[in-house]
Amino acid sequence: MGQAGRTIAPGTGTTPRRNRGFTRRRSYLKMIFSRSIPKRNYRDYRLYRPLLRQDFQHRCAYCLIHEFFVGGEAGFEIDHHRPLHGPYARPDLEAVYTNLYWSCSECNANKGDTWPSPEEYEMGVRFLDPCQPDDDHDLHWKFHPDGTLQALTLIGAYTEEKLLLWRPFLQERRAQQFRDQEEAEELEARLKRKQVNPGRRRELEQRLAEIKRRLEPPIFDRARWGDRIPHA
Ligand SMILES: [Zn+2]
């Protein structure tokens, strides 16, 4: 993310890289998460929630959906990448920050206790791990403008199958994002032309602002008892 003080937790093998952003054409799904080193270690993993949201840029580690589109923070959960239960449980990693991933509720529920067997692992079958170097989403899938995914690797195929990343809602969302990016580029190009009359210019600017709100969505924290009611 290029911010001062941003470093990577030891033991992840991750090297810091710049976030290339979401607004560049056809590259919005290319995203590299970089982890902060927590200022303190908690025994209750839920206390890492604010840091996780920030490190994962308010997006699901697996399907990349932004919190905004699934009800804000309330539509997300903390995933234990190595599950706490099931045949390959690692309860010792319950509160280890590098085992915590910010995930939409649906991906987290689909993932459950699923983990590849040692035999599968040996064959190169595993979940995509966006916190590892060279494990970017677009190395494992090709994203088509109609929102469909095409797995390019065993990792891509396994992750898509187990997390149901082909689900129609995600397809629709990805397709919309492609359309938004194309339209934003087109509008920006039109606004650069000098001969646009002021009324038309205002319309184009308004339309561009609406699209940008979807491309870089606002953040909504979960509402809690005692919060101040906005505009009250
Ligand atoms: Zn997800």
C-beta separation of 8 from 35 below 8 A: yes
Per-residue confidence at 4, pLDDT binned at 50, 70, 90?
Answer: very low
Q: How close is the Cα of 109 to the center of ligand 1, in Å? A: 9
The residues near 199 (Cβ < 8 Å, ≥ 6 apart) are: none
State if pTM tops 0.75: yes
- Pure H helices in the chain: 49-55, 105-111, 118-122, 137-140, 154-163, 168-192, 198-215
Q: How close is the Cα of 165 to the center of ligand 1, in Å? A: 8
Phi, psi angle pair for 149, to nearest 5°: -110, 145
Average the pLDDT over 53-62 and give the result: 96
pLDDT at position 23: 35
Q: How close is the Cα of 168 to the center of ligand 1, in Å? A: 13
* Side-chain half-sphere CA neighbours of 56 within 13 A: 31
- Cα(163)–Cα(111) distance, integer angstroms: 6
DSSP state of 5: T
Residues, Cβ < 5 Å to ion ligand 1? 60, 62-63, 104, 107
Q: How close is the Cα of 158 to the center of ligand 1, in Å? A: 15
User: Taking the chain, what is the end-to-end CA distance rounded to the nearest angstrom?
Assistant: 36
What does the pLDDT look like over 61-98, one tens digit per residue? 999 999 999 999 999 999 999 999 999 999 999 999 99
Q: How close is the Cα of 218 to the center of ligand 1, in Å? A: 18
The pair of three-digit structure tokens given for residue 221, joined into one six-digit string: 């924290």
What does the pLDDT look like over 97-148, one tens digit per residue? 999 999 999 999 999 999 999 999 999 999 999 988 778 888 899 999 999 9
What does the pLDDT look like over 160-207, one tens digit per residue? 999 999 999 999 999 999 999 999 999 999 999 988 899 999 999 999
Q: How close is the Cα of 100 to the center of ligand 1, in Å? A: 14
